[in-house]
Amino acid sequence: MICGSKTKSYLKSQNLKILGQGKLNGIVEISGAKNSALVLLASSLLTNEKIILENVPFLTDIEKMGNILKNLGVNLVRKNNQLEIDPTTISIKELPYELVKGLRASFFCIGALLTKFGEAQVPLPGGCNIGSRPIDEHINGLIALGADIIIEEGIVKAKTRGNKNRLHGTHIKLNCPSVGATETLIMAASLAKGRTTIENAAREPEVQDLCQMLNKMGAKIYDSGKETIIIDGVNKLGGCTHKVIPDRIEAGTFLIAAAATSSSITISPVIPHHLEAVTNKLQESGSKVTIKGNSISIKSKEIKGVDIETAPFPGFPTDLQAPFTTLMTIANGESKITETIFENRMNHIYLLNEMGARIKLNKNVAHIKGVKTIKGMNLVGSDLRSSAALIIAGIIAKGSSKIYGLEHLDRGYENFELKLKKLGIKITREVSKSTFEKNEYKIKTKSEKFSKLEAA
């Protein structure tokens, strides 16, 4: 049986076949951060000079953003993990719906296009179905910077107010520390006239990476990584060469996989303080974590249950909640997982229960009683991080599993199964000649409590 969600879309004709109860051993090379690379690509629109981005991962999301830039007239040349971006030929200020519908990060382009050209048209964003992610903070901030904005038929149309061709500095206080809104407004403010302060700004490493690159380009941004960011607008930005930071979410996923399989691995390169919330919880749950330079080693045996609550950086990242939940299914004792960022990010819970986990879900709080083992199954990942969680579940399970929905996984993990195979996991990507309609494989509920929970 394939467990998945009720929808009229079709499964990709690929799956990962995993032989369970495997062990990881060796060194993992961590790729560049997807969430950083996406916004850095958008920020290249702010200049008329060439940008060279290094350590760019091969991902479908990166390919989508590249196609968006090409549609605007940007010239892109890829050499392995390096992208040469030439924005001097930009000819369009509108993003087409067919290119942006599946990529939420495409909306970041609005800040760059608006502040550079005085106008922009961007469709409302798409991406993983993990809950409501409103763009109110983006819109309100751009209005405060001097934009007139209307939304018609799903298109956000922005234009600098009156006859002015330039946004103006202002004070913005975000209602919540939204990463996307912080990044959009930093880009918009970088070429605005005067000083902008963003209060209650996101502090994530990806925001800091954006500020670092913009400053290389000639921006004047201060206090990135703090709750209040100050931007003094400049007249123009130049080109630069910049290396994308390592992906802390990929790094955390491999650390959690090692803990779940009582394994020993080393991950590198990483920026260890980006992972403190994760490594602290792994140590609390029984793993030995050793940090040396830009590498982290983990050695795990028995795991005990611990509680986590997701929070903006430097708290425990929501993107690692699903993998950590999988770890807790086989931990000794009880644990509680609280998701505070996205209301629909517990879609993996029912699938883990199908595998034999003992999890009770009350809204966005999962109460877990650890079990000795879970059983392999055929499962459909419903979003990027739940797909990674199910793969970890397949690795620790008794028997074999097949994980479908790889279109999600390929958005955010570069060569995931190849890296796992190198570490000793028996995992193979299979290609099927046929496709399966998802609503043929609606989850069969085993309890009334979960009857309304779907992995959508």
By annotation, the residues acting in catalysis are 128
Give yes or no for a cis peptide into 134 (omega within 30° of 0): no
Between CA 354 and CA 358 the distance in angstroms is 9
129 is in an annotated binding site: no
Burial of 425 (0-12, 13-18, 19+ CB in 10 A): buried
104 is in an annotated binding site: yes
Between CA 115 and CA 135 the distance in angstroms is 18
307 is in an annotated binding site: no
34 is in an annotated binding site: yes
Burial of 124 (0-12, 13-18, 19+ CB in 10 A): middle
Task: Using alpha carbons, list the distances in angstroms from residue 240 to 50, 73, 410.
Answer: 7, 19, 29
345 is in an annotated binding site: no
Buried b (16+ CB within 10 A) or exposed e, 382-401: bbbbbbbbbbbbbbbbeeeb
Residue with tokens 């009880």: 334
Task: Using alpha carbons, list the distances in angstroms from residue 426 to 20, 84, 300, 387, 404.
Answer: 8, 37, 20, 17, 16
CA 414 to chain centre: 13
Residues comprising the binding site?
Answer: 34-35, 104, 319, 341
Residues comprising the binding site for phosphoenolpyruvate?
Answer: 34-35
Residues comprising the binding site for UDP-N-acetyl-alpha-D-glucosamine?
Answer: 104, 319, 341
